[in-house]
Amino acid sequence: MQIRVEDLSMIYNPGLPYETRALDHISVDIKPGEFVAIIGHTGSGKTTLVQQIAGLLEPTSGRVVAVAEDGTETVISEKGKASFAVRRKVGIVFQYPEYQLFEETVLKDVCFGPKNQGLSEEEQIERAKTALKLVGMDADEIGGESPFELSGGQKRRVAIAGVLAMDPEVLILDEPTAGLDPKGHDDILRMIDRIQDDRNITIILVSHNMDDVAEYADTVLVMNKGSLFMQGDPRYVYCERGRELKSVGLDLPAGPGFLEDLQDLGLDVDIEKLTFDETAEEIIRVVKKKWQ
Amino acid sequence: MAVRDITLGQYYPGESPIHRLDARTKIICALIYLVSLFVVQSFSAFGLSIVLLAVVVMISRVPFRFISKGLKPIIFLIILTMIINLLFNTSGTVLVEFWKIKITDAGVYRAAFMGLRLVLLIFGSSLLTLTTKPIELTDGLEKLLSPLAKIGLPAHELAMMMTIALRFIPTLLDETDKIMKAQTARGADFENGSLKQKAKALIPLLVPLFVSAFRIAGDLAMAMEARCYHGGSGRTRMNQTRFGRGDAMAFIVMIIYVGLLIGSRYLPLY
Amino acid sequence: MDSDLIIQIKNVSYAYLDDGDPTTEEKLALDNVSFDVKRGEFVAIVGSNGSGKSTIAKHMNALLLPTSGSVLVDGMDTKEASETAPWEIRRKVGMVFQNPDNQLVSSVVEDDVAFGPENIGVPSDEIRRRVDEALRLVDMYEHRKKGPHLLSGGQKQRIAIAGVIAMDPECVVFDEPTAMLDPKGRREIMEIIERLHSQGRTVILITHFMEEAAAADRIIVMGNGKLLVDAPPADVFSRDDLGVLNVPFAVSMARKLRENGIDVPADIVTEKKLAEFLCR
């Protein structure tokens, strides 16, 4: 399933003195199976955009369309309509998703989505078990426990499983690692990457962590003040147009960021490197030449 | 984001002499004014109340449409009160009569009287909240109630509770919005279905909301303790409220107003 | 009494309250932890979730009291003080928490900053002066009349810091102050922390982020309630046996460069220092 965002605008409080243009004529295509990262400052419109894609908010103008493989188009959201039917194909994991857990047991909580989809009880449990397995948890071991008794990292996994259990074709994650320790952070990201490979679903990741984005994303969408500021693969966004990114106050991944600092201090380095090893090689080359 | 924009209380920011009055003065004056409306017996005395209100509104520089906004939620109640008075007051000269309904001059008089009284009540109390910050209002209440602390009324605690409630209403509204969206994304339906289904649909919203509220309460209690909070004793305040010339003026105006009202009862006025 | 020590942690163990179930194994959140903090020092405490780093932080201002062992703050035993006037300890050791939303009390910024000084009975004029000064220090003076709900996470956290500074504590404990912030907010908070330290205040920073810990004079690594290491950043980052750490970019880069014959000094742990070294 392809997601097509067509000339989407969102204005909060239109006509009032505190009118805010949260999205300003955004158009973008998200291909099936793509790993898309959305970056930008807090308040740049990232969250509004993904909520539109998930069919949770009505836009002021423009629309979001799901295009099936056979070419049929279904509107996800447009003015006056935020679609429930397609929402099932687009799952969204909000920030701090563990705060939405509510059932007595882990298994019941994960079943909530499938139940609302109208599946039979066996199917619900089947889906829940598979989803728990995807997030690295054993339903037999932990399914009967209260979700409120789990550790922070476990709660988050259960919450993600609750969305996966709805079997989405597109999975949106809004800063899924916020507040976790480094190990929890790495675990969740590797898990997302694995789920994408296993299921071949589209991932849309909202993130502030440029190192993660550089490592995992196929495409990066840069939002700035409600507009789509830049779009391309990590190498394009961070290396070729890194200076522009910095000019709007956004960070670069550690490698390119460090190379730019070196360049600013007068070292003649080529800044178009992305990974740690590329960065190291470039520094070694330049520094050795300079010190000879 | 949408929920966040709800304006709280209904404070209208300004620097007018009315805004600058001590919150205690405003609370007391508003109380006197509200009570006076129930004492008033004649239209001419009401004229006095209207003049006073109009002058205060002008000084406060709060646009009239903000003050009249307070009427919206209870306009139905006002109309109902007026109709009841109109229909069921049978004394006096009959003006119109049809079917079993008689409308008398006394009925019209009562209806107009009650309607005016309610409108003035709303305007008077709105003016208090429009010109006083919620936080000053709670502070003022705390100070006014503090003499009652001696007889066991927890004035400081009540005011602190109000302060915290005011502070966390936006946070909880935000939280509600977020949880609702998240559960909607999982297929929850808060809008359709029978009353029983609707009530059941609230569980996925209410449980997380309560959990959040308790988490916030725990965090906040710890933060307050860390900032040396230990109840009202030994506490000082940054904003020391002192009664100033404006407050004295306000009280003088109120005394004159009350005096005139009392005087009006002995004059042959309508 | 050693007067240049602000905090002394002596053989502290802490067990979470028994839940009444005899089958529950008593789990020690802190297991015989000892260390001192000198006046004016900047100490970072790191460790994974559940390592006990937050628990030890809450011992430093008597929010928690040790099950065994003792904590001295400026020579005062927290256990004794908490029976009479725990706020005497808390005015010396202020604390900033993780969640910026849940630690602000008032719906007006400047009134919130005044909350602490009001609690310890500072005279009104003096509170006004301190509030203005604290708000200027965190660059939030222009927002003093606003409601916290209109501010960003980083701004709210700066208000929380101002609220602590207005009590004029000798030492400020930051309990994961940047965990819920975006990179911009995180940078702002770190700048303020370093500013406070340079003004001579003792700073204790509990964090997940090694880049932040690298700015400290000393890093304490916690694991399973035990103190694993207590050493300067360069020493801590050079150890491979501490699985909880993912070392900062500058440290792994310096290591890589050393392997390739560029002789980076061992004490370089921040990107700024590494860049300066490479460009000299």
Domain locations in chain B?
3-132+240-265
Q: What is the pLDDT of residue C191?
A: 95
Q: What is the pLDDT of residues A75-115, one digit of tens each?
A: 888 888 777 665 678 999 999 999 999 999 999 999 999 99
Q: What per-residue confidence (pLDDT) applies to B269?
A: 54
B66 contacts chain A (CB < 8 A) = no
CB contact under 8 A, C249 and A254: yes
Test A94 with B185 for CB contact under 8 angstroms: yes
Does residue B157 belong to the interface with chain C, where contact is any CB pair within 8 Å?
no
Token reading at A231:
């779009």
- Which pLDDT belongs to residue B162? 85
Q: Do B5 and A102 touch (CB under 8 A)?
A: no
3-state secondary structure of C30: strand
Q: What chains are in contact with B, requiring at least 3 Cβ pairs below 8 Å? A: A, C
Chain B residues touching C97 at Cβ < 8 A:
219, 222-223, 226
Residues 233-262 of B with CB under 8 A from C: 234-240
Record: contact C49-A279, CB cut-off 8 A: no
Q: Does the pLDDT at position B4 exceed 60?
A: no
Look up tokens 């939303």; give the residue. Answer: C101
- Across chain C, mean pLDDT equals 90
Mean per-residue pLDDT for B158-169? 87
B228 to C164: CB separation less than 8 angstroms, yes or no: no
The percentage of chain C sitting over the pLDDT mark of 90, rounded to a whole number, equals 72
Contact C50 A151 (CB under 8 A): yes
All residues of chain C having their beta carbon less than 8 Å from the beta carbon of residue A43 are 152
Query: Buried b vs exposed e over B163-190: b needs ≥16 C-beta within 10 Å?
Result: bbebbbbbbebbbbebbbbbbbbbbbee
pLDDT score recorded for residue C21: 55
Please answer yes or no on whether A100 and B204 come within 8 Å at the CB atom. Answer: yes
DSSP lists the bridge partners of residue A224 as A227
At C20, the pLDDT band (50, 70, 90 cuts) reads: low
Cα–Cα distance between B228 and A77 in angstroms, integer? 50
Chain A partners within 8 Å of B2 (Cβ): 12
pLDDT of residue B92: 74
Determine the residue type at C54.
Answer: S
CA distance A84 to chain B (A): 8
Sort residue B18 into left (φ over 0), alpha (ψ -120 to 50) or beta.
alpha
Rounded to a whole number of angstroms, the distance from the CA of C257 to the nearest CA of chain B is: 45
Q: Out of 1.10.287.70, 3.90.1150.10, 3.40.50.300, 3.30.420.10, which CATH number does the structure's domain C5-231 have?
A: 3.40.50.300
Which among A5, A22, A11 is positioned nearest to A223, based on CA atoms?
A22
On chain C, the residues whose CB falls within 8 A of the CB of A251 are 183
Judging by DSSP bridges, how do beta strands A20-30 and A170-174 pair with one another? unpaired
Q: Over chain B, what is the mean pLDDT? A: 83
What does the pLDDT read at residue B3? 39
Beta-carbon neighbour count of residue A183 at 10 Å?
Answer: 15
Interface with chain B: mutation pick from C111, C165, C180, highest number of B CBs within 10 Å:
C111
Q: Is A265 on the interface with C (CB under 8 A)?
A: yes
Tell me what pLDDT residue B5 has.
Answer: 37
Helix (H, G, I), strand (E, B) or coil at C245: coil
For residue A21, give the nearest of A185, A227, A215 by alpha carbon: A227
Lowest mean pLDDT among B5-9, C189-193, C205-209: B5-9
ipTM for the predicted complex: 0.90
pLDDT of residue A39: 96
Give the pLDDT of residue C44: 97
Q: For the ranges A221-230, B30-39, B179-188, B234-243, which has the lowest average pLDDT? A: B234-243
Token couple for C40: 């004016």
Domain boundaries along the sequence of chain A? 2-246, 254-291
Specify the pLDDT at position A183.
Answer: 86
Average pLDDT over residues A130-157: 92
Q: Which of B167, B225, B237 is opposite residue C107, by nearest beta carbon?
A: B167
Mean pLDDT for chain A overall: 91
Beta strands C171-175 and B94-98 are unpaired
pLDDT number for residue C62:
94
Question: What would the pLDDT profile of A39-67 be if each residue is shown by its tens digit?
Answer: 999 889 999 999 999 988 889 999 999 99
Secondary structure of C48-114 in the HEC alphabet?
Answer: CCCCCHHHHHHHCCCCCCCCEEEEEECCEEHHHHHHHCCHHHHCCEEEECCCCHHHCCCCCHHHHHH
CB within 8 Å: A94 and B182: yes
Which chain A residues are closer than 8 Å to B203 by Cβ? 102
Tell if the CB–CB gap between B2 and A102 is shorter than 8 Å: no
Q: What is the distance in angstroms between the Cα of B197 and the nearest Cα belonging to chain A?
A: 13
Does the pLDDT of residue A36 top 50, yes or no? yes
Percentage with pLDDT > 70 across chain C:
94
Of A154 and B74, more confident:
A154
Least CB–CB distance from B5: residue in A13, A88, A148 = A13
Cβ pair A113:B187 closer than 8 A = yes
Q: Is C87 on the interface with B (CB under 8 A)?
A: yes
First to last CA, chain B: 53
- C114 at interface of B, judged by CB pairs closer than 8 A: yes
Q: Which of A12, A100, A163 sits opposite B208 (nearest CB)?
A: A100
The per-residue pLDDT for C185 is 93
- Which range of B26-35, B55-64, C5-14 scores highest in mean pLDDT? It is C5-14
B54 touching A, CB under 8 A?
no
Mean pLDDT of B129-138: 84
Is pLDDT above 80 for A120? yes
How far is Cα A230 from Cα A241, in angstroms, rounded to an integer? 9
Q: Nearest chain C Cα to A283, which residue?
A: C257
DSSP state letters, chain A? -EEEEEEEEEEESTTSTT-EEEEEEEEEEE-TT-EEEEE--TTSSHHHHHHHHTT-S--SEEEEEEE-TTS-EEEEEETTEE-HHHHTTEEEE-SSGGGG--SSSHHHHHHHHHHHTT--HHHHHHHHHHHHHHTT--HHHHTTS-GGGS-HHHHHHHHHHHHHTT--SEEEEESTTTT--HHHHHHHHHHHHHHHHHH--EEEEE-S-HHHHHHH-SEEEEEETTEEEEEE-HIIIIIITHHHHHHTT----HHHHHHHHHHHTT--------SHHHHHHHHHHHHHHHH-
CB contact under 8 A, A112 and B211: no
Tell me the per-residue pLDDT of C89-133, one tens digit each, with 9 for 90 and over.
999 999 999 999 999 999 889 999 999 999 999 999 999 999 999
- B187 and A88 in contact by Cβ < 8 A? yes
- Which chains reach chain A with 3 or more Cβ–Cβ distances below 8 angstroms? B, C
E strand residue ranges, C210-263: 218-223, 226-231
Nearest CA in chain C to A252: C183
Contact yes or no for C257 and A182 at CB 8 A: no
Query: Which residues does chain A have within 8 Å of residue B188's beta carbon, measured at their own beta carbons?
Result: 112, 116
Q: Residue A186: closest CA among chain C residues belongs to which residue?
A: C246
Q: Inter-chain contact A163–B186, Cβ cutoff 8 Å?
A: yes
Beta carbons of A280 and C180 less than 8 Å apart: no
Q: Are A158 and A101 in contact (CB under 8 A)?
A: yes
Confidence band of A194 (pLDDT split at 50, 70, 90):
very high
Residue C243 has a pLDDT of: 60
Res. C1: pLDDT tops 70: no
- Of A2-16, A34-48, C230-244, the range with the highest mean pLDDT is A34-48
A113, B203: Cβ pair inside 8 Å? Answer: no
Residue C64, amino acid: L
Fold adopted by A2-246: Rossmann fold (3.40.50)
Chain A residue numbers with beta carbons less than 8 Å from the beta carbon of C279 are 262, 265-267
How far apart are the C-alpha atoms of A218 and B37, rounded to whole Å? Answer: 71
Find all residues with CB under 8 Å of C91, minimum gap 6, and list them: B228, C120, C167, C168, C169
pLDDT for B20 beyond 90? no
Q: Which of residues 128-167 of C touch B (CB under 8 A)?
A: 128, 131, 147-149, 160, 163-164, 167
Instruction: Determine whether the interchain pair A100/B1 forms a contact, defined as Cβ–Cβ distance below 8 Å.
Output: no
Cβ contact (<8 Å) for A99 and B208? yes
Interface contacts (A, C; CB < 8 Å): 78
**Chain C residue with Cα closest to B237:** C118
Closest CA to C56 of C26, C36, C76: C36
Q: Distance, in angstroms, between A192 CA and closest chain C CA? A: 20
**Residue B214 or residue B143, greater confidence:** B214
Retrieve residue C163's tokens: 């609220």
pLDDT for res B1: 37
The B residues from 160 to 189 touching A (CB cutoff 8 Å) are 175, 178-179, 181-189
pLDDT 10s digits, C59-88? 999 999 999 999 999 999 999 988 888 888
pLDDT score for B268: 59
C-alpha C240/C-alpha C208 separation (Å) is 18
| pLDDT of B200 strictly over 80 | yes
- Locate C111 and state its tokens: 């009134």
Q: Given pLDDT bands bounded at 50, 70 and 90, which one contains residue B148?
A: confident
Torsion sign, CA atoms C258, C262, C266, C269: negative
Q: Nearest to residue B128, comparing CAs of B234, B210, B32?
A: B32
